[in-house]
Amino acid sequence: MEEREILEAVKLMRESSPPRKFTQSVEFGINFKGVDFKKATNRVSVDVTLPFGTGQAAQAKVLVFVKDRNFAEQLKEKGIPFLLEADLEKLGKKEGEKLANDYDGFLAEGAVMLVVAKCLGQTLAPKRKMPKPMQPSVAEYEKFVAGMASSVKVSNNKGKFMPVVQLLIGSEKSEDQQLVANALAVYNAVLPVLEKKKHNIKNAFVKLTMGPCVKIGAFYRKLDKEKLARKAAAETKKASEPVEAKAKAAKKSKAKKAAKAAAPATAAEPAEGGDAQ
């Protein structure tokens, strides 16, 4: 997949979606073929750092598991959420589930990793939220959180493992080249995990939240243009139908009134062969 092809699809995506009263997100998707996703080894699950982020301003919520009390004081001064090792060991199952749902990610001092695995491993691992080890440094925490803002999980696990991945790569306020770079980053991250590489990819597409899917590539672009042109023609025809119907009804009503106005005069004329007075 080439940058030029993605750029052309992005431009067509913008052209084919009417303005909305809100800022639409831009999504990128890949449809697969010839892959048995029932096999765990074939399933897609990769982390990707988008060169230009997703355009979402919300900051990720990250909790730190701490052993060093001096480090805990530093985190407290910065308003950074943390949990001491001693408190971690007291957590019940419900409290652990709540932590997993409340936070986007976790960090842990190296010395606490084993305790986290023992107490929360069964809760965090299935959600792919096991903590990353860190040195006791506020700067390292801030770097990790900043990285999460541009990091996305690419997975085809949506209840069942579907033959498609689809994710946010920006918004309609993003520049075309930024969307192209983000889409290409996802494509290049997914390609290596496929057994037959590009031969396992059926097609790729971009779309706005309320817009149609626009497939990437010259062949698909031609089909999409024809499809969108037919759709636009149908919408134009549908919009003009009420006007035409109204004009036709008005013409029919006018003719009916004219015929009714002429009816009395016709009735007043004497019938042929009648007696003359």
pLDDT value at residue 277: 42
Summarised one tens digit per residue, pLDDT across range 221-240 is 665 666 666 666 666 666 66
The answer to whether the Cα torsion of 209, 210, 211, 212 is positive or negative is positive
270 phi, psi to nearest 5 deg: -70, 145
pLDDT at residue 197 tops 80: yes
pLDDT value at residue 74: 94
pLDDT value at residue 242: 64
What is this structure's pTM? Answer: 0.58
What's the pLDDT band for 7 if we cut at 50, 70, 90? Answer: very high
pLDDT at residue 271 tops 50: no
Average pLDDT, the chain: 82
Mean pLDDT of 8-36: 90
Q: Are 207 and 27 in contact (CB under 8 A)?
A: yes
pLDDT at residue 245 tops 70: no
Specify the range with the lowest mean pLDDT, choosing from 60-64, 122-126, 196-200, 265-269. Answer: 265-269
Specify the range with the lowest mean pLDDT, choosing from 105-114, 141-150, 187-196. Answer: 141-150
**127 or 44, greater pLDDT:** 44
pLDDT value at residue 26: 93
What's the pLDDT band for 44 if we cut at 50, 70, 90? Answer: confident
275 CB-near residues (< 8 Å, 6+ apart): none
pLDDT at residue 178 tops 70: yes
Mean pLDDT of 16-23: 86
pLDDT value at residue 256: 78
Summarised one tens digit per residue, pLDDT across range 107-123 is 999 889 999 999 999 99
pLDDT value at residue 226: 66
pLDDT at residue 260 tops 50: yes
Name the CATH topology of 3-44+156-226.
Ribulose 1,5 Bisphosphate Carboxylase/Oxygenase (3.30.190)
What's the pLDDT band for 5 if we cut at 50, 70, 90? Answer: very high
pLDDT value at residue 274: 46
What's the pLDDT band for 65 if we cut at 50, 70, 90? Answer: very high
Name the CATH topology of 62-137.
Rossmann fold (3.40.50)
Where in the chain are the domains?
A: 3-44+156-226, 62-137
